[in-house]
Amino acid sequence: MSLFDTHCHLDDKRFVDDFEGVLARARAAGVTRIATIGCCNSVETVPRALNVARAHADWVVATSGVHPHDASHWSVPLAEAIVAIAADPLIVAIGEAGLDYHYDNSPRAAQQQAFRDQIALAKQVKKPLVVHTRSAPEDTLAILREEQARDVGGIIHCFSETPDFARAALDMGFVSSFSGIVTFKNAVEVREAARLQPLDALLIETDAPYLAPIPHRGRRNEPAYVAHTADCIATLRGIDPEEVRQRSFENALRVFGLPTGHA
């Protein structure tokens, strides 16, 4: 029994008070691998997620990138710092990068440029891309296509689109990672996408501290709760929860380029 939380933010300040408890509860819930996402908005913040992974290198890996919310901070020095840190074997992907037209915290032109540049950067360092996309399905697919993101592939994280979007993304080498949203009864399209997604292209994540699944909805999320997402997907598909855990775990190792054969 192994779970891989492929997307959370362990360097978030909401984890500071009980960080060891968060990790202990994850272990107790069967989580044996975590990818902590490095969202930076300055050269100084680039090493933050990697430092968390280094302190727990037996089971935690990290990524590095600029979230669309912070796209207005995108700069050449920041890109260079991400390229430099990406040489570390504990950095398993570039991102999260992408488009968020729901919040529009950065101008859309800036989001698009930072996204395009990070696809190029992922290709340069030969690591997969973690994509954040919200309320921007057409532009996300167009940019992935135009920048030939297929060369590296990666993950559509916190999947919040339609089954058609999942298929189009998979055609370009992007698997879908499902979060606690699948446990929300009104998330009809996302639940349908989780039901239809090929089992060799499905990941699970918490996106903690955000988006706690039922029965924890509305409270702080944490990696232990990824078990609820796995169980919910198993119920939606009518299969054994262990199959969802095992397959999504193997998929995560493959996408992140981590050695297989051990949990």
Q: Residues in the site for Zn ion, rule: CB under 5 A?
A: 37, 96, 132, 207
Could you tell me the smallest distance in angstroms from the CB atom of residue 251 to Zn ion? 18
- When the beta carbons of 5 and 207 are compared against Zn ion, the nearer one is 207
Could you tell me where the beta strands, DSSP code E, fall in 37-137? Answer: 60-64, 91-100, 129-134
Question: Residue 31 is encoded by which pair of tokens?
Answer: 């989580």
**Considering beta carbons, is residue 210 or 234 the nearer one to Zn ion?**
210
Nearest distance from residue 210's CB to Zn ion, in Å?
A: 7
Between 33 and 132, CB nearer to Zn ion: 132
Residue 236 tokens, joined? 């939606």
Alpha helices in 126-257 (DSSP H): 137-146, 163-171, 188-196, 226-237, 241-256
d(CA 58, CA 61): 9
**Judged by CB, which is closer to Zn ion: 132, or 247?**
132
Amino acid identity at 128: P
As to burial, measured by CB atoms within 10 angstroms (0-12 exposed, 13-18 middle, 19+ buried), residue 250 is middle
Minimum CB separation from Zn ion for residue 128, in Å? 15
**Taking the complex as a whole, how short is the minimal distance between the CB of residue 205 and Zn ion, in angstroms?**
8
* H and E: helices and strands count for the chain: 9, 8
- Among all residues, whose Cβ is closest to Zn ion? 132
Q: Whose Cβ is closer to Zn ion: residue 72's or residue 235's?
A: 72
Tell me how far, at minimum, the Cβ of 37 lies from Zn ion, in Å.
5
In 3D space, the residue among 204, 262, 258, 218 whose CA is nearest the CA of residue 29 turns out to be: 204
